[in-house]
Amino acid sequence: MSELALWYRKRCSRRALAELDDHLLRDVGITQHEARRELRKSIYLF
């Protein structure tokens, strides 16, 4: 996978993660704290 494709995939995943409420986050096995930590990561980290 190219770096651009990987960046785009992570960007989309983080945007989707930002939309999830506490109930849905629990369903996927992460906490609100873990979600916020992921959302704070730089978009340039691969």
DSSP element (H, E) containing 15:
helix 3-19
pLDDT of amino acid 46: 52
Q: How many CA atoms lie within 13 A of 1 on its CB side?
A: 9
pLDDT of amino acid 7: 86
Q: What is the pLDDT of residues 1-46, one digit of tens each?
A: 798 898 899 889 999 999 999 999 999 999 999 999 988 887 766 5
pLDDT of amino acid 24: 97
Cα→Cα distances 4→1, 8, 11, 45, Å: 8, 6, 10, 12
